[in-house]
Amino acid sequence: MGYGETYGALLEAIAEQADSIAMRYFRAEELRTERKGDGTAVTQADRAVEEMARAKVATGGLALDVLGEEMGGGDWHAASKSGRARMIIDPIDGTEEFSRGIPTFGTLLGIELNGEIVAGIASAPGLGSRWWAYRGEGAYRNGKRIHVSQVGKLSEAMIFTTGTGPSKNREIIERIRRLPDASRNSRAFGGYWQHMLVAEGAIDAALDWTSKPWDLAPLGIIVEEAGGRSTNLRGERTIYSGQLVSTNGKIHDEVLKILE
């Protein structure tokens, strides 16, 4: 049995209801934005999506632990040691955008098994898009197979980058700056969407610098199943080091080299 057959129905059901919840609050008068202890934004939509997802897992008949941004669920610094698979969820990735009426938010869902992400969905109802991948089964957007670009040089590439978060670390900012300076064209956006643009071949590389596992869980598998690469700055395939570099594969080593 493939991972899609095992986990697909549950993840799709969660994504469908997450889209409905998110759009009910998006640009609505009753949306309330608060600040958590780390300064990041949270809304009632974030909490409602995660509560729904956990309820579906609890009744879904699969032996799954859950790690989520809003309600925790064990050690988020490392892969689950329980021996069970776990679902990792960011109920609303891009809450800052969501709270400001910008449609580039999304719900991120990943299934981690024995330290490996084997299934992932990124659902963006504001963009009318949903990306997914199951290990060994390809990557898709709205049911259509997607593939990374064929650009072979960073100097010919279009890349997206992110910032440093609240730290505003000048040294890191200068390191990040090297990437757009070496590319043909660049934009600064950050978040899951830029990695999905890599997966579908719209851009050639994307960089996030300060991220948690729930920000990254489904992104790498979607990029990899589309033919690209997703690693940290040391070339390691992990969601636990804070950074994620996604490329079409052809320029990956060049991108890592310039960020050293």
Q: Where are the alpha helices (DSSP H) in the chain?
A: 3-25, 44-59, 95-99, 170-182, 192-199, 213-216, 219-225, 252-258
Mean pLDDT lowest among 38-47, 66-75, 91-100: 66-75
Tens of pLDDT along 136-147?
Answer: 999 999 999 999
Residue ending a domain, among 119, 145, 171, is 145
CA distance 146 to 236: 24
Mean pLDDT lowest among 15-19, 72-76, 194-198: 72-76
Residue ending a domain, among 145, 180, 215, is 145
Tens of pLDDT along 20-57?
Answer: 999 999 999 898 988 877 778 889 999 999 999 999 99
> 167 with 226, same domain?
yes
> 127 with 230, same domain?
no
Burial of 171 (0-12, 13-18, 19+ CB in 10 A): exposed
Global confidence as pTM: 0.95
Please give the tally of structural domains in the chain: 2
Place 231 in a pLDDT band, splitting at 50, 70 and 90. very high
Tens of pLDDT along 145-186?
Answer: 999 999 999 999 999 998 666 556 788 888 889 999 999 999
Tokens of 17: 């209801």
> 236 with 196, same domain?
yes
Place 198 in a pLDDT band, splitting at 50, 70 and 90. very high
Q: How far is CA 155 from CA 100, 179, 218, 227, in A?
A: 34, 10, 28, 20
> Which domain range does residue 237 map to?
154-258
For the residues 59-77, what does the mean pLDDT come to?
A: 83
> 181 with 130, same domain?
no
Between 114 and 74, the higher pLDDT residue: 114
Q: What is the mean pLDDT of the chain?
A: 93
For the residues 87-111, what does the mean pLDDT come to?
A: 96
Q: What is the CATH number of the domain that holds 118?
A: 3.30.540.10
> 167 with 132, same domain?
no
> 132 with 43, same domain?
yes
For the residues 192-215, what does the mean pLDDT come to?
A: 96
> 137 with 158, same domain?
no
Res 162: pLDDT: 83
- Helix pair angle (3-25, 44-59), 10° resolution: 150
CA distance 26 to 158: 30
> 99 with 221, same domain?
no
Residue ending a domain, among 145, 172, 194, is 145
Res 235: pLDDT: 97
Find out whether 230 and 259 touch, Cβ atoms under 8 Å.
Answer: no
> 131 with 234, same domain?
no
Identify each DSSP E strand in 61-168 by its residue range.
64-68, 85-93, 106-113, 116-124, 129-134, 139-141, 144-145, 158-161
> 12 with 137, same domain?
yes
> 14 with 122, same domain?
yes
CA angle 175, 221, 90 (to 5 degrees): 80
Q: What is the CATH number of the domain that holds 178?
A: 3.40.190.80
Q: Which residues contact 92 (CB under 8 A, 6 or more apart)?
A: 22, 43, 45, 46, 49, 98, 105, 106, 107
